[in-house]
Structure 1
Amino acid sequence: MSERLMALAASPTDAAQAAAVELRRRYEWVDPRKADLIVALGGDGFLLQTLHAMLDRHRPVPVFGMNLGTVGFLMNSWSPDLLEARLLAAKTIKVPPLRMEAVTVEGERHTVPAINEVSLLRETRQAASIEVCVDGRVVLPELVCDGVLVATPAGSTAYNFSAHGPILPLESALVALTPISPFRPRRWRGAILSDRTRIRFRALDPVKRPVSAVADQREVRDIDTIEVTIDRSNPLTLLFDPEHALDDRIAMEQFAI
Structure 2
Amino acid sequence: MKYFYLIANLAKELVPETRAYIIDRLEKRGAQCRFLSPAQQNKYGKHTPSELVPSETECVITIGGDGTLIQAARDLAGRNIPLLGVNRGHLGFLNQVSTEDEIEEAIEALTQDRYELERRMMIRGTVFHEGKPVFQDIALNEIAVTSQVPLRVLRYQVSVNDEYLNHYSADGVLVATPTGSTAYNLSAGGPVMAPAGRMMALTPVCPHSLNARSIVLAPEDRVRIGVSNSGRVSFDGDSTADLETGDSLAVERSGLETVMIRRKKQSFMQNLSDHLSGI
Which residue matches 1:172?
197
Separation in 2, partners of 1:136, 1:153: 23
Which residue matches 2:61?
39
Q: Which amino acid aligns with 1:242?
A: K
Once the two structures are superposed, the pairs formed by residues 75-224 of structure 1 within 5 Å of their partners are 75-78=95-98, 79=100, 80-87=103-110, 88-104=113-129, 109-124=134-149, 125-140=151-166, 142-184=167-209, 186-203=210-227, 205=228, 209-217=229-237, 218-223=239-244, 224=247
Separation in 2, partners of 1:118, 1:242: 30
2:248 matches 1:228: no
Tell me the SS of whatever aligns to 1:59.
coil
Which residue of the other structure, out of 8, 11, 16, is the alignment partner of 1:10?
Answer: 8
2:73 matches 1:51: yes
Which residue matches 2:39?
none
- Contact 1:89/1:241, CA 8 A, preserved across alignment: no
Separation in 1, partners of 2:179, 2:66: 11
Separation in 1, partners of 2:158, 2:129: 17
Tell me the SS of whatever aligns to 2:6.
strand
TM-score between both structures, scaled by the size of structure 1? 0.87
Deviation digits for residues 97-139 of structure 1 (CA, Å, limit 9, x no counterpart): 1100012479661111011001110223542111100011011
Distance 1:47 1:132, change over 3 A: same
Count of residues in Structure 1 that have an aligned counterpart in Structure 2? 246
- Contact 2:125/2:251, CA 8 A, preserved across alignment: yes
Which residue matches 1:23?
22
TM-score between both structures, scaled by the size of structure 2? 0.80
Question: Identity across aligned pairs (percent)?
Answer: 23
Which is further off, 103-112 or 240-249?
Answer: 103-112
Deviation digits for residues 35-61 of structure 1 (CA, Å, limit 9, x no counterpart): 121111111111111111111xx5230
- Contact 1:86/1:241, CA 8 A, preserved across alignment: no
Tell me the SS of whatever aligns to 2:208.
coil
Which is further off, 157-166 or 124-133?
Answer: 124-133
Tell me the SS of whatever aligns to 2:180.
coil
Q: CA RMSD in A?
A: 2.3
Q: Which runs of 5+ in 2 are unaligned?
A: 36-52
Q: Which runs of 5+ in 1 are unaligned?
A: none
2:272 matches 1:250: yes
2:238 matches 1:238: no
Larger RCO (CA within 8 A; separation ≥ 6) = 1
